[in-house]
Amino acid sequence: MIYQHKNFVLDMNGRKAKLYRSGRLQFMGDHYVAITMLLQLSDNHQDVREKFRQQIEQREKPRFTSTEYTAKK
């Protein structure tokens, strides 16, 4: 999948995602990291957030808080 937003291009074909800004490679690696970078660089633009909403929501939340962790020790 290739997603384009303003001067950004996010190429998620293959094992590594590639994020380009103005035609220059900004990041190559994990897909989730590339999505979060795109969100950050686009100032959390509504269109970008909506496009990748499912991937962001599927990310696992911490299983317990730090206070619960210290109580279990």
Nearest to 4 by CA among 45, 32, 53: 45
For the chain, how many residues are written? 73
pTM for the full model? 0.77
**Cα separation, 44 vs 19, whole angstroms:** 15
Residues 18-62 have pLDDT tens digits of: 999 999 999 999 999 999 999 999 999 999 999 999 988 887 666
